Structure 1
Amino acid sequence: MARIDLRAGDKILRYGLPIGTMTRPARQGAHIHLHNLKSDYLPAHDRVASGGVGAEP
């Protein structure tokens, strides 16, 4: 839920960490989800094996 009025482009934090950017305005008390938030998720690792080891799942 929005604790304050939000504008498109505002960064959203959860537990002090950035999770996304508002894609459209939301009033205080509005539900925040994928209909008005774009995820800022950035993968922190790659699942491709590296270092010359050909591991198969």
Structure 2
Amino acid sequence: MARSSINQRAIEKHLKEIAKGYERAARRNPIRLPLKLRQPQNHRSLDRPKLRDARPAGQRCA
């Protein structure tokens, strides 16, 4: 009885070619998703108070 073996090298070569094709297609046609921006419900966010320094008074940066 003849024994048939699977050619692993041919399979690996074929898979590399397929992957290369997908990489080329991704470079030519990148995936783009639309961005939905929400508008603030109240415009007070534009008038935020300034952040205070977290260091105790009297200490300065070296």
Give TM-score, length-normalised by structure 1: 0.23
1 or 2, which has the higher helix percentage? 2
Q: Which has the larger radius of gyration?
A: 2
Higher relative contact order (CA 8 A, sep 6+): 1
> What TM-score does the superposition give when structure 2 sets the normalisation length?
0.22
